[in-house]
Structures are given as C-alpha cells and as structure tokens.
C-alpha cells in the first residue's frame, strides 16, 4: 500500500510539474502574442505615415522635374539650371528612401501577422516540429565575430543564451514561425542590443539572415548578416 501511495505521489508530482511547465510556456506565448500585436499596430501606423510622406515627396519630385525642364527651355543661366537639378536630385533621393522604408514596413507587417497566426495556433494546441532546439555555431558579419547560440523551442517561442567573441554574453528570446526566425539578443551588460532575422534551412542544419542593432550609440556597425550551423554537424560557420 505504501509503495502504491509513493507511486501515485510521484506520478502526481511529475504531472504537476508538466502542467506548471505547460502553463509557463502558454504564458510566454500569450506575452509574445501581445507584444506582436502592439508591434504590428505600430508598424501599420508607421506605414500610413510613410505613405502620406511618399505622396508629398512624389508631388515634390514632379514639381522639381517640371522646374528643370522649364529652366532648360527658358533663358535661365547655368547656375540656376544647376540649382534646380540639385533640387531634383534631392527629391529623387527622398522618394527612393521612402519607397524602401514603405517596402520594409509592408514586409514586416506580413511577417508579424504570420507570427500572430502561429502564436494563436500554438495557444490552441497546434504545434510544428522542433528544428531549432540545440547548440549553434554562429558567425556575425561584418567583423567575422564568432560565437555560440544555445536555443530551445517551445511551440513558437524561442528562448536561450549566447556567448560572442569580445566577452559578450546574455540571453535570447524570440519566435519561430514556419522557417522564419526572429531573435532578440539581451546582453548582460548592454541590455536589449540586437534583433536577428533568419530562415532555418529545411533540414534544420543551418540558419542565415540579417541582424540590426537597436541602438547606434556604441560606434560599431548598425546592421549586417549572420549565419549559424548546428554544432553536431561538425561544420564551422563560413
């Protein structure tokens, strides 16, 4: 009878621990879902503002184009024509910059909505295969900075820790939606310092993507590329 009671007690303890772990994972998914919803709202607002600015920039570009044509046909001197041509060049640069920002925001909104859908699926019990959990050898460019990411996947929620050359270490948090990885690097000294975007290879042996710094105050590069390979592949990151 005592043995039976002990077995039942152990089973209850294990089951309780599993429930606590599942609740913690659900809490993390709900928290990340709330963050993604706030992010997509901010991006939609930014897209609207950028589109409005683009409308104005396109109107200015059209006006500057006509101005150069008028100067070329008229009697204005070379200095005036050069001034109008410079104004046209500046208008073109502004339009190109706004078009690129608009494209980036639109792509980001699509990715965030995919993440939201995946998180909602995660919370409803729909989970995908784990192709991420493990130890990864990382190379970050520019500078050929090497390091190690140790990551764990629970549904769509990614957590882990890292070390990078130069004495950098800290935690990782993020999401994996289909093959799209988004990681936030929280350094033990610098705080939230970097966002990584990447795609996990179909076989789950490598990751490649881009990174961007959250602050440009450190004097280093603000963005670049990164690649990771599983340590058990016995392959060095190129």
Residues 56 and 164 in one domain: no
Residue 18 lies in a domain: yes
From residue 197, alpha-carbon distances to 26, 106, 122, 238 in Å are: 23, 16, 20, 18
Name the pLDDT band for 97 (thresholds 50, 70, 90). Answer: very high
- 56 and 6 assigned to the same domain: yes
Q: 140 and 60, same structural domain?
A: no
CB 162 within 8 A of CB 185: yes
Looking at the domain assignment, is residue 238 inside a domain? no
Could you list the residue range(s) of the whole structural domain that residue 21 is in? 1-126
Identify whether residues 27 and 63 lie together within a single domain. Answer: yes
How much is the pLDDT for 41?
93
Average pLDDT rounded to a whole number, residues 84-95: 92
Q: Is there a single domain that holds both residue 143 and residue 211?
A: yes
Structure confidence at residue 79 (pLDDT): 85
**Does any domain span residue 165?**
yes
What value does the mean pLDDT take over residues 5-34? 60
Provide the CA 144 distance to its chain's centre, in angstroms. 20
Q: Is 124 helix (H, G, I), strand (E, B) or coil?
A: coil
Residue 158 CB coordination number (10 Å)? 23
Residues 122 and 141 in one domain: no
Q: Indicate whether 106 and 11 sit together in one domain.
A: yes
- Cα separation, 49 vs 110, in Å, equals 18
Query: Does 237 have pLDDT greater than 50?
Result: no
Alpha carbons 201 and 56: distance in angstroms, whole number? 42
SS3 211: strand
Residue 117 lies in a domain: yes
Query: Residue 126's pLDDT is what?
Result: 65
Predicted confidence at residue 25, as pLDDT, reads 63
Rounded to an integer, the average pLDDT of 181-199 is 92
Q: Are residues 89 and 163 in the same domain?
A: no
Q: Same domain, yes or no, for 17 and 118? A: yes
Greater confidence (114 vs 220) lies with 114
Residue-by-residue DSSP string for 134-182? EEEEEEEETTTEEEEEEEEEETTEEEEEEEETTTEEEEEEEEEETTEEE
Mean pLDDT of the chain: 83
The reply to whether 140 and 194 lie within a common domain is yes
Examine the domain organization and report whether 118 and 144 are in the same domain. Answer: no
CATH code for the domain in which residue 218 is found: 2.40.128.120
* Residue that terminates a domain, selected from 126, 156, 174: 126
Quote the percentage of the chain above a pLDDT of 70: 83
Model confidence at 23, pLDDT cuts 50, 70, 90, reads low
Domain assignment present for 98:
yes
Per-residue pLDDT reduced to its tens digit, 200-222: 987 788 999 999 998 765 556 78
End position of a domain, from candidates 126, 152, 178:
126
Report the distance separating Cα 147 and Cα 160, nearest Å.
Answer: 14
The residue that leads in pLDDT, 24 or 228, is: 228
Closest CA to 194 of 179, 206, 177, 211: 211
Looking up tokens 């963050």, which residue turns up? 35
Which two three-digit tokens encode residue 138?
């990382």
Whole-structure pTM value: 0.56
92, 126, 160: which is the final residue of a domain?
126
In a domain, 180, yes or no: yes
Range name among 54-58, 62-66, 101-105, 117-121 with the lowest pLDDT average: 117-121
Dump pLDDT digits (tens) for 54-88.
999 999 999 999 988 888 887 778 888 889 899 99
pLDDT of residue 202: 79
Q: Within this chain, do residues 41 and 66 fall inside the same structural domain, yes or no? A: yes
Is the link from the previous residue into 142 a cis peptide, with omega within 30 of 0?
yes
The residue behind tokens 């009671």 is 5
**Number of folded domains that form the chain:** 2
- Higher local confidence (pLDDT), 106 or 129: 106
For the chain, the maximum distance between any two Cα atoms, rounded to a whole number of angstroms, is 109
């Amino acid at each position: 009878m005592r043995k039976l009671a002990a077995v039942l007690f152990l089973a209850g303890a294990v089951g309780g621990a599993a429930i606590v772990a599942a609740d913690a994972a659900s809490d993390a998914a709900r928290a990340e879902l709330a963050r993604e919803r706030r992010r997509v709202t901010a991006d939609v607002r930014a897209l609207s503002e950028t589109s409005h600015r683009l409308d104005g920039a396109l109107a200015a570009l059209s006006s500057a184009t006509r101005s150069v044509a008028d100067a070329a046909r008229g009697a204005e001197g070379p200095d005036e024509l050069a001034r109008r041509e410079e104004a046209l060049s500046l208008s073109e640069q502004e339009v190109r910059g706004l078009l690129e920002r608009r494209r980036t925001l639109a792509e980001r909104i699509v990715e965030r909505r995919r993440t939201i859908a995946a998180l909602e699926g995660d919370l409803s019990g729909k989970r995908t295969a784990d192709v991420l959990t493990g130890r990864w050898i990382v190379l970050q460019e520019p500078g050929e900075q090497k390091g190690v990411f140790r990551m764990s996947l629970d549904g769509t929620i990614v957590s882990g820790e890292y070390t990078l050359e130069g004495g950098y270490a800290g935690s990782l948090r993020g999401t994996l939606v289909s093959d799209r990885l988004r990681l936030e690097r929280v350094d033990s000294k610098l705080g939230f310092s970097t966002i990584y975007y990447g795609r996990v290879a179909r076989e789950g042996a490598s990751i490649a993507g881009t990174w961007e710094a959250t602050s440009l105050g450190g004097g280093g590069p603000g963005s670049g590329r990164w690649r990771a390979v599983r340590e058990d592949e016995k392959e060095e990151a190129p």
